[in-house]
Amino acid sequence: MATILDVTLPNGKSYKQPVGLFINNEFVKSQDGKTFGVENPSTEKQIVSVYEAGEADVDLAVDAAEAAFEKWGFGDSTVRGRLLNDLADKLEEHSETLASIESSNNGKPLSLARIDVQLSADCIRNYGGWANKIYGDVVDSGEGYFNYIRREPIGVCGQVIPWNFPLLMMAWKIGPALAAGNTIVLKTAESTPLSALYAANLVKEVGFPPGVLNIVSGYGKTGQYISSHMRIKKIAFTGSTATGRHVMRSAAASNLKKVTLELGGKSPNIVFDDCDVDKAVEFANMGIYFNSGEVCCAGSRIYVQESIYETFLEKLKARAEKNVLGDPFDENTFQGPQTSRLQLDRILSYIDDGIKGGARVITGGKRVDREGYFVHPTIFADVTEDMKIVKEEIFGPVVTITKFNTVDEVIKLANDTDYGLAAGVHTTNINKAIHVANRIRAGTIWVNTYNDFHHNIPFGGFNQSGIGRELGKEGISEAYTQSKSVRIKLDI
């Protein structure tokens, strides 16, 4: 099998899809020639097969990244910034192809995939601007010494990205890491490798030196080779909390490499009776059904103050039933399929568990009767806090709704979780908004909005939702540099 194939998209357009491993600026076959199939979740049909990286391939990628590091990491930072800006321009130039690949491989609607591409370009351009603004410091410790602190790149970084936002999560990872001067071995999710491989071609086209960014495809064992590799100095992982624990153990057992983890969530979305109800309904709908519910910070636990509970429930039901499900290439579609059969089956098992546990289905609660991995937007009411559908991350278009009375009560309910990734607060009282936001134990609190990201705002979790932050200043200075103290005794 060749390393670049001609592929026809569902909209009839053709393009050249890389399927090889991207090592040292070339698409190459895996050492053992193994491949695996990649499917379109809307049709349940295979798109292509891609080469699967084994341990020897990861070693080659690390070799390439190590060879590139000294010149890249300690060379002209302005060059790094210019290349990142050029890459952002290329992503925009190829935006329609990239969005179409994302829709075909992940299942997300084309209209939303276009937004992902633009956000990816914005993120990379933002960090291009950071490349020559990583400053150290000078410290006065008294006469007779000159002290300075440098911020230096870490070295070869391993990065493992998820399948729900393939291109955007790649941008979140490579933007700050490359700007800071690190080199990368990145593993895509096994179900959604295609947009990252296409973007790799653009990396080469704009002139990134060989070995600076290497991309490998594969399953969990490929990620294991990266997280346990003795010559990789840092691992950044986005995915489930269970897998995050495994990554952390591997990192500790190998060379104590630095770790950042962006993991799962079961985020509360709190609706007070003084909110603008119609706006709160819109943001609740976006909070849970955006991206087919496959969002780590999805507002999957909605708490509504008792006086507006029935009104809110009725309005959210009506709004959810207006969401257009179907072909991702239809411009009117809001919700596409789940990304894989595995995820579909997981969601349906949670729905079944909720029904058996006595929760009331307000709408949805079943698979859509059509080709593809589609699930109706689902709302559960009459839930109790000990139910699995309330406690565990479902990662699909399923929400639970609970009533509350007082501020203290809902803060306790919101914090009754092992997670702590995000939360929403809907109120027209700014004092209440700030008070509640400050008392919820989560990394991001949205007030009168939801799933509202920006590349300058740090994102990450408390508790079992992760370690470290992505985006913002923290996403580069804390995640991808290390400090070096130099203390010079002066002869005076």
Give the pLDDT mean for 86-114: 98
Burial profile 468-485: b = 16 or more Cβ within 10 angstroms, e = fewer: bbbbbebbbbebbbeeee
Q: Does 275 participate in catalysis according to the annotation?
A: no
CA 47 to chain CA centroid, Å, is 23
Supply the mean pLDDT for the chain: 97
Identified catalytic residue from 52, 102, 262, 470: 262
Residue with tokens 């840092």: 234
CA 43 to chain CA centroid, Å, is 24
The residue type of 444 is T
Give the pLDDT mean for 164-182: 98
Q: Using alpha carbons, list the distances in angstroms from residue 136 to 132, 149, 156, 248.
A: 12, 5, 21, 29
> What is the structure's pLDDT at 422?
98
pLDDT at 371 over 90: yes
Whether the predicted model's global pTM rises above the 0.85 cut? yes
Identified catalytic residue from 123, 157, 275, 296: 296
> What would the pLDDT profile of 262-309 be if each residue is shown by its tens digit?
999 999 999 999 999 999 999 999 999 999 999 999 999 999 999 999
Residue with tokens 């300075």: 148
pLDDT at 218 over 90: yes
Q: How would you classify the pairing of strands 398-404 and 378-381?
A: parallel
CB of 193 closer than 8 Å to CB of 218 = no
Angle at 106 (CA atoms; ends 104, 111), nearest 5 degrees: 70
> What would the pLDDT profile of 188-211 be if each residue is shown by its tens digit?
999 999 999 999 999 999 999 999
> What is the structure's pLDDT at 436?
98
Residue with tokens 């495994």: 246
pLDDT at 492 over 90: no
Query: What percent of the chain is predicted at pLDDT more than 70?
Result: 100
d(CA 447, CA 437): 8
Angle at 149 (CA atoms; ends 148, 154), nearest 5 degrees: 150
d(CA 201, CA 178): 16
CB of 207 closer than 8 Å to CB of 60 = no
Of 236, 294, 320, 282, nearest in space to 102 by CA: 294
Give the pLDDT mean for 36-44: 98
* pLDDT range class, residue 446, cuts 50, 70, 90: very high
Of 174, 55, 169, 185, nearest in space to 117 by CA: 169
Q: Does 296 participate in catalysis according to the annotation?
A: yes
Give the pLDDT mean for 351-376: 97
Q: How would you classify the pairing of strands 422-426 and 268-271?
A: parallel
d(CA 334, CA 193): 23
